[in-house]
Structure 1
Amino acid sequence: MDTAAAPREDAAVGGMTKVLPAAERVYLHVKTGVLNRSYEGGTLLTEGGLAEAVGVSRTPVREALLRLEAEGLIKLYPKKGALVLPVSAQEIADVVETRLLVERHAVAKVVGAVPARLIERLEESLAEQREHAAAGDLVAFSAADRGFHAEIVRAAGNRILAHLYDQLRDRQLRMGVATMHAEPSRVAKNLAEHAEILDALREGAAEAAAGIVERHVSWVSTLARGES
């Protein structure tokens, strides 16, 4: 299951603890902050501030920021710092369009003969989402939400499409948290729509499943236009 957990500064390798390189620690620190909105769009990050926060020199900070700029999360300004880029309406529209292309195909492909293991995974994911919703953890909820859809895409069996979908992960997590902060009622609506998708898959209802996915994924672009 996908998560948006806080960055780890070490990892267990062969029973031993391996400390991550300084640049990797800075990268994880900033990326997690952007995804969970600790660093919101419009925030100006400085090399000195990040170096102090992570406990490293400025050199690995520069390396990490270049990597994050390449991923489209920040914009570097020489001698000033790094600006966290806000999520634009165009980015939302592009992600929604891509998701619809992939997810409608995936649902149509699996709905005729849904693997029992997929149903089990979706049930587990839905239970996890309900736990995070009850705890008010929007970051964890958004990650579990995204994982629910990723399970269906993977079950369709097209590795290229699954890889393409995985590349949307960070954008989906960031948008999910931002939009649910903007419209808290969406948490309950997402849970209800996920349950509808699961029921449609259980019943092999292809047309119903496709319609629910269309409505469920498209709401983000509706919110971006300022509509209710």
Structure 2
Amino acid sequence: MTYSSADRVYDEVKELILTCELPGGEMISEGDIATRCEVSRTPVREAFLRLAAEGWMRLYPKRGALVVPIGEREARDVLDARVLLETHAIGAIAQDPTAIANLAGQLRTSLDGHRAVDATDAAEFARLDAEFHQLIVAAGRNGLLADFYTSLGERHRRMTAARLRHDPTVTAQILTDHAELADVVAAADADRFADLLAAHLASVHGTEGGLS
């Protein structure tokens, strides 16, 4: 399958949206992106149509494209889904010492990667944050749920990147919370994991009033 100029523009612009280099609420033009990606406007137009169809952009003829902001309802839905899927995964392996030990080791290795990243690199830290949580769901031995969780990964990354760009000090809290989550996994304490995860997500993403 040929990788076209439109495919490349689509990938590059989508990554800019996911890392919040193109923040929600910003208007962009075909011309600006064509210049940035060193292509004509035709592949940019094709890429914009794909991004709009997926809900990342809203197109305005003769004006450009609006990067759709992260809505409060969307954010809460993503966080709710994450709590359900991650706690289900831990519950599924809590009685399997080998699976628990393997996951705890993977999480601690991931955490080492977190610590090696510059706290100001929101894009890379958000990627590693998503990877940490995906490891948890993947360990739950339910391929359908793992695939669904992966589909949330882009929204997960974008939400975290937006939060870190707004407040880079949140990285310290994420590191602390992830270390605690890894310890609770190692202890196979599914109930404590559920409570800690919900508190972690609510605090990091500014929904301390609780998830619904």
Give me the TM-score of the superposition, normalised by structure 2: 0.90
The runs of 4+ residues in structure 1 deviating greater than 3 Å are 220-225
In structure 1, the partner of 2:113 is 128
Deviations 1:146-174 (A, max 9, x none): 11110010010111111111111111111
SS at match of 2:58: strand
SS at match of 2:206: helix
- The AA in structure 1 aligned to 2:102 is R
- The AA in structure 1 aligned to 2:27 is L
* Mapping of residues 170-189 of structure 1, within 5 Å: 170-189=154-173
SS at match of 2:69: coil
Identity of counterpart residues, as a percentage?
38
**Which of 71, 78, 81 is matched with 1:95 structurally?**
78
Q: Does 1:21 align with 2:4?
A: yes
CA distance in 2, matches of 1:78, 1:224: 40
- The AA in structure 2 aligned to 1:120 is G
In structure 1, the partner of 2:67 is 84
In structure 1, the partner of 2:42 is 59
In structure 2, the partner of 1:157 is 141
Which range moves more in the overlay, 113-122 or 99-108?
Answer: 113-122
CA distance in 1, matches of 2:91, 2:202: 17
- Distance change (3 Å), C-alpha of 1:26 and 1:119: same
Q: Structure 1 residue 175: deviation in Å?
A: 0.5
CA distance in 2, matches of 1:166, 1:32: 16
In structure 1, the partner of 2:175 is 191
- Distance change (3 Å), C-alpha of 1:191 and 1:84: same
Conservation of the 8 A alpha-carbon contact between 2:27 and 2:66: yes
Q: Unaligned regions of 5+ residues in structure 2, if any?
A: none
- The AA in structure 2 aligned to 1:98 is A
